Amino acid sequence: MDYSAKTIIMHVDPAAPEPDVITKAAEYIRAGKLVAFPTETVYGLGANALDPEAVERVYRAKRRPANDPLITHIAQSTDLYRLADHIPAWVEPLAQAFWPGPLTLVLQRAAHVPSNLAAGLSTIAVRMPIHPVARALIEASKTPIAAPSANTFTRPSATTAAHVLEDLYGRVDVVIDGGPTTLGLESTVLDLTQDPPVVLRPGGVVIEDLRRLIPEVRTVSQYLGDADEASPSPGQLLRHYAPRARLMLYEGPAAAVRSAISDTAARYIANGRRVGILTVNEDAAHYTQLGARIIALGEQHDHAAIGRVLFGALRALDGQGVDVILAPLLDSEGLGAAIRDRLLRAAEGKVFHVGQPTSHEA
């Protein structure tokens, strides 16, 4: 067997992780084993980034295709200089402003760094997390840690240790349980090998804040997923973060979205299907009579609250065996951009536009 038959679960205080636990987990990393751990974004599936066999194990455990590169996590910003070459001038102000934190920088990879870390690309994606457990683990391991999200490929990312175990029990050596992650959404991926820099994935550091530092920063919209379009960020495949149930997204004036969701839910339920509804708190009361499973994510404009629980809500509805999940597509201000991106990927880019004349009605 190429993975452990059993997974060890270690509990830590997320604010002040017990040194003996961290030391033990770091021994596993140094031995080339897999350790899942909490970060401020989502749980990471960690391995020694400088050990190509350990990196290979990450791909296998996640069932991740070999063309989907991993993010390398460091404890000091100066560690970057050991992993990357031709470091552009943007790095210093970016690291000053956003590290430690949920910003991943794509740079030219140094020659000695294993190429499977970056799925064979000449680049490397690096981030310095702020979560005390992540930082302590990297420091104690005395090596950078490669850590993609600790979920099975295409599934919603794991924001609790229970989610990690749901997907990866028996496939990782250790899970460090440090409670739920604070942000609940992955890092922003910023490609600094292009000039001006390009946001490859919206995430925890919002584009409005990046723009204050780099006014010319560009974004790419990949979730539109035209198969002929070259993918600027390998691995940002269209179907991602997806629940098993079919996710249907609605966009338009609030009242039209509410009635489209209610009507669709009623139709499915009349046909004997189980329906889940993701909603903002303000709208929850509209759906109570339908007989659907309803999860209120948070107040409409509280993107931080919605982001924190989004992946868990998709998993919870799957756990209840729903056939379809109906949800509104929210605005894209601030963290809303990352939420929108995750919903669009989970729905494979399909959105129902309601309450507006369609173009061919003119």
- Identify which of 82, 76, 72 has the alpha carbon closest to the alpha carbon of residue 99: 76
Q: At what angle do helices 19-30 and 132-141 cross, to 10 degrees?
A: 50
Output the smallest distance, CB 38 to ligand AMP, in A: 14
- Nearest residue (CB) to ligand AMP, 225 versus 355: 225
By a kind-dependent CB cut-off of 5 to 8 A, residue 121 interacts, out of ligand AMP, Mg ion, none, with ligand AMP
Q: Does 233 bind ligand AMP (CB under 6 A)?
A: yes
Q: Does 159 bind Mg ion (CB under 5 A)?
A: no
How far is Cα 229 from Cα 174, in angstroms, rounded to an integer? 39
Q: Does 121 bind ligand AMP (CB under 6 A)?
A: yes
Number of helices (H), then strands (E), belonging to the chain: the values are 10, 17
- Identify which of 279, 306, 308, 282 has the alpha carbon closest to the alpha carbon of residue 293: 279
Helix (H, G, I), strand (E, B) or coil at 318: helix
By a kind-dependent CB cut-off of 5 to 8 A, residue 278 interacts, out of Mg ion, ligand AMP, none, with none
Handedness of CA 34, 35, 36, 41 (dihedral sign): negative
Selected binder of Mg ion within 48, 104, 141, 149 (CB under 5 A): 149
Q: Does 280 bind ligand AMP (CB under 6 A)?
A: no
Selected binder of ligand AMP within 69, 102, 132, 204 (CB under 6 A): 69
How far is Cα 115 from Cα 274, in angstroms, rounded to an integer? 45
By the 10 Å C-beta count (0-12 exposed, 13-18 middle, 19+ buried), 78 is classed as exposed
How far is Cα 298 from Cα 309, in angstroms, rounded to an integer? 9
Residue number, nearest CB to Mg ion: 149
Size of the site for Mg ion (CB under 5 A): 1
Q: Does 141 bind ligand AMP (CB under 6 A)?
A: no
Q: Between residue 169 and residue 208, which ones bind ligand AMP under the rule CB under 6 A?
A: 186, 189, 200-201
Output the smallest distance, CB 111 to Mg ion, in A: 27
What residue ranges bind ligand AMP (CB under 6 A)? 68-69, 71, 106, 118, 121, 123-125, 148-149, 186, 189, 200-201, 233-236
Where along the sequence are the contacts to Mg ion (CB under 5 A)? Answer: 149
